[in-house]
Chain A
């Protein structure tokens, strides 16, 4: 099944639930009408939260740059001895 069909089915199920709520009037209708807006806003807030949290926890590796430089030097030395002209950066 294509992914978009899955997403649309999910949206259709949520819409059916919402329409059901509207008709059954368990919650006052005025509230029910606003539910989709609450849903979209919460989704947006959740997304922003995930971006913020991810940004704070973004894994960095400054030591890797140092290690890489060491590897580059090691490789250049090796090639100098083998007579391969790698030139300069």
Chain B
């Protein structure tokens, strides 16, 4: 390993992976296992921001800490469900990496793509690498026709209005340079998936270099959460807000 470092002459970077959780007792263990499996030669830490899950998520994380080390897995919990944006901000406070990865805990984001994020960033020196589900080597599983239609319609509308420069606006599997994440997140005020859109649009407006890598997205949750009229209204309101303020 030391030989490799000298030959390549590369600086070894550290990656902080922030995972907000709520009732992800089983999934968090699997995600941690898969991250360790796919990032064998990488210096990283996992920051679990749990919002007071009643299902024992934090107990599992503590057991994982015993197994993998408290320097590799940080549990930075909060008292109750306080939202995604603030979860990232909270996790950022404890991140000691040069880069920050954000990803979901429900296994829709597979850690096997982490090496491709890292590679893309090293190749292009991008400020942000975002995963996109909507390109040829990407994809989604678990969506019915209606869901695909709303997703596609929402995307076309957002592309037409915002010219964002990325193909997947609502995706939340991203790698940021730590300083870039700190800069962008401080100017974002939206909630939910509009927050993810706001992050990438603001970053684009600020001139940060954004690259994309294809990812596959397995939605095991969709059946339980329907995409109703109120979500659509919220999305449209978010679009108008972004159109006027970015």
Q: How large is the interface on B (under 10, 10 to 19, 20 to 34, 35 or more residues)?
A: 35 or more
Q: Across the interface, which residues of B come within 8 angstroms of A75, CB to CB?
A: 29-30, 33-34
Contact of B162 among A3, A50, A60, A61 (CB under 8 A): A3
In the complex, what residues of A have CB within 8 A of residue B244's CB? Answer: 4
Contacting pair B140 A84 (CB below 8 A): no
CA distance A60 to B133 in the complex (A): 9
Residues B141-182 near A (CB distance < 8 A)? 141-142, 145, 148-149, 152-153, 155-157, 160-163
- Bound complex: CA of A54 vs CA of B167, how far in Å? 12
Contact A87 B243, beta carbon cutoff 8 Å = no
B93 within 8 A of A: no
User: For residue A74, which residue of chain B has the nearest CB?
Assistant: B33
Q: Which of B133, B142, B145, B157 contacts A59 (CB 8 A)?
A: B133
| B30 contact from A61, A65, A72, Cβ within 8 A | A72
Task: Please determine whether B26 and A86 come into contact, CB atoms closer than 8 angstroms.
Answer: yes
Contact of B33 among A78, A85, A89 (CB under 8 A): A78
Residues of A within 8 A of B141 (CB): 60-62, 64-65
Asked if A79 and B216 sit within 8 Å, CB to CB, the answer is: no
Is the CB–CB distance between B25 and A86 below 8 Å? yes
Cβ of B140 and Cβ of A59 under 8 Å apart? yes
Structural contact, A68 and B26, CB atoms closer than 8 A: no
The answer to whether A2 and B110 touch across the interface, beta carbons within 8 angstroms, is no
List residues 36-65 of chain A with CB under 8 A from any CB of chain B.
47, 50-51, 54-55, 58-62, 64-65
User: Residues of A contacting B25 with CB < 8 Å?
Assistant: 86-87
Q: CB < 8 Å: which of A55, A72, A74, A88 contacts B148?
A: A55
Q: Which residue of A lies closest to B137 (CB)?
A: A59
B149 near A47 (CB under 8 angstroms)?
Answer: no
Give the contacting residue for A58; candidates B29, B110, B148, B245; CB below 8 A. B148
Query: Could you say which residues of chain A place their CB within 8 Å of the CB of B148?
Result: 55, 58
B63 touches A84 (CB 8 A): yes
In the bound assembly, the distance between CA atoms of A58 and B246 in angstroms comes to 29
The B198-245 residues at the A interface (CB cut-off 8 A) are 205, 216-218, 243-245
- Of B152, B218, B246, which contacts A64 at CB under 8 A? B218
3 closest pairs, A vs B, by CB? A61-B139, A59-B139, A75-B33
Ordered by A's residue number, 27 sampled pairs between the chains whose C-beta atoms are within 8 Å are A2-B245, A3-B162, A3-B205, A3-B243, A47-B156, A51-B149, A51-B156, A54-B152, A55-B149, A58-B134, A58-B140, A58-B152, A59-B136, A59-B137, A64-B139, A71-B30, A72-B30, A79-B33, A84-B60, A84-B63, A84-B64, A85-B63, A86-B29, A86-B30, A86-B60, A88-B26, A89-B26
15 more A-B residue pairs beyond the given contacts A54-B152, A59-B134, with a C-beta to C-beta distance below 8 A: A4-B243, A51-B153, A58-B152, A59-B133, A59-B138, A59-B139, A60-B139, A71-B110, A75-B29, A76-B30, A78-B33, A79-B33, A84-B29, A87-B26, A88-B26
